[in-house]
Amino acid sequence: METILFDRLAKQGHDFLGARYPIICGAMTWVSDPNLVASVCNAGGFAWLAGGNTPVEILEKQILDTRKLTDKPFGINLITIAPLYKKHLELMQKLKPSFINFAGSFPRRKEVTAAKETGAKVLCFASTHSIALRMIDYGADALILEGMEAGGHVGHVALSILLQQVLFEVSEVPVFVGGGIATGKMCAHLFLMGAAGIQMGTRFAMAKESCAHKNFKDSFVKARARDAVSTPRFDSRLPVVAVRALRNKDTDEFGKIQLKLLSQLDKNDITKEIAQQKVEEFWMGKLRDAVIDGDVSHGSLMAGQSVGLVDKEMSVTDIINELVTDTEKELQKVSRMVK
């Protein structure tokens, strides 16, 4: 199928990323490994290799392994609140990736500068218009708007609002969007709104090339959109970044962890920094339990609300082909409507 309208509207994202299609596989700790990243890139998309809190030597090996599996561009996702974040940023100076994305919380100006000094294009998340302008001022080459509908670490604003606050107002840099997206029809309308590209996580976690355990994927197939819930923050002294995941016993356990850490903060038995580290270690470990070991009762089933639109496992190639085809069909439909 010819993709004339898709190619026209996706040109900005295509030119920026160097990918055939500006359809991005978001970074998912334990899931976005070299095989999945390379598979997405070889199929014409773009993908982030998840830094998470991976030991530095392992992250270096994963980057080199990915380069062996694909000659297409891909990026490295760095979690600013991960204990090994600073060492990961130092590693970028050595390996000089093509793209770097900051996630978890917002990077400082000097961190964006350090990333750009590697020669990489830098993409930053933005959850409000003011933050978008700040990230651009810091030197971000592009923005990613990710609504609270997304899985994993999320903000508190829905994508429908972010589109109006940021996508419609910012023209200085390309703006990519994500959160709650799973279909080509939705992609078509986001491109019409001006999005440079689309980012998805949950859809690619279900790919055949995804290393996620069968139990993990089966939970996604059975889940409804409302089953993907966001964790609460109990106290400003413990600046927990909200995490969206399928509700299970682990969800309740996280609440108890927060209360325990707050009690320790009250008694000065622990510092704010260590408390935050304990939170991230909890999520990293629980996510591994679910993704790798298949413990869907106590592990973390990080998923976006788009999980309610995912009902089967497909190959990466089939996912991208379906998205591109359905996007083009919807754009043609809209074109006929406005003639």
Let me know whether 136 and 38 are in one domain: yes
Closest CA to 254 of 304, 223, 300: 300
Q: What percent of the chain has pLDDT over 70?
A: 100
Q: Tell me, what amino acid is at 160?
A: S
pTM above 0.85, yes or no: yes
Average pLDDT, the chain: 94
Q: Are residues 270 and 323 in the same domain?
A: no
Does 43 lie in the same domain as 98? yes
Q: Which two tokens stand for residue 217?
A: 């994927």
- Model pLDDT, residue 274: 85
Over residues 191-206, the mean pLDDT reads: 98
Q: Where are the alpha helices (DSSP H) in the chain?
A: 4-9, 11-17, 34-42, 56-69, 85-95, 109-116, 129-138, 159-162, 184-193, 202-205, 214-222, 249-266, 272-291, 316-338
pLDDT at 294: 96
Q: Quote the CA–CA distance of 68 and 144 in Å, as a whole number.
A: 27
Distance of CA 7 to the CA centre of its chain: 24
Assigned token pair, 308: 């309610």
Q: Clarify whether residues 182 and 284 are in a common domain.
A: no
Say which CATH number the domain at 128 has.
3.20.20.70
265 inside domain: yes
In a domain, 299, yes or no: no
Q: Residue 283 above 80 pLDDT? A: no
Check whether residue 176 and residue 262 sit in a common domain: no
Q: Residue 304: inside a domain, yes or no?
A: no
- Tens digit of pLDDT for each residue in 65-75? 999 999 999 99
Query: pLDDT (tens digit, 9 = 90+) per residue, 88-132?
Result: 999 999 999 999 999 988 999 999 999 999 999 999 999 888 999
Residues 200 and 268 in one domain: no
Q: Are residues 266 and 234 in the same domain?
A: yes
Assess if residue 101 is contained within a domain.
yes
- The per-residue pLDDT for 276 is 78
What is the per-residue pLDDT for 268?
86
Residues 119 and 229 in one domain: no
Note the pLDDT tens digit of each residue in 20-33: 999 999 999 999 99
Same domain (yes/no): 118, 259:
no
For 86, 221, 257, 276, 303, the CA distances from 283, given in Å and listed in that order, are 19, 22, 11, 11, 13
249 against 91, higher pLDDT: 91
Domains: count for the chain: 2
pLDDT at 172: 95
DSSP 12-72: HHHHHH--SS-EEE---TTTS-HHHHHHHHHTT-EEEEE-TT--HHHHHHHHHHHHHH-SS
* pLDDT per position as a tens digit, 145-188: 999 999 988 888 999 999 999 999 999 999 999 999 999 999 99
> Could you give the CA distance from residue 237 to residue 239 in angstroms, rounded to a whole number?
6
Q: What is the pLDDT of residue 277?
A: 78
Would you give the distance in Å from CA 4 to the centre of its chain?
28
Query: Once rounded to an integer, what is the mean pLDDT over residues 195-213?
Result: 98
- pLDDT value of position 33: 97
Domain contains 272: yes
- Give yes or no: residues 59 and 123 share one domain: yes
Is residue 217 a part of any domain in this protein? Answer: no
**238 falls in which pLDDT band (50, 70, 90)?**
confident
106 and 13 share a domain?
yes
Based on the domain organization, do 57 and 178 belong to the same domain? yes
Domain enclosing residue 242, as ranges = 224-291
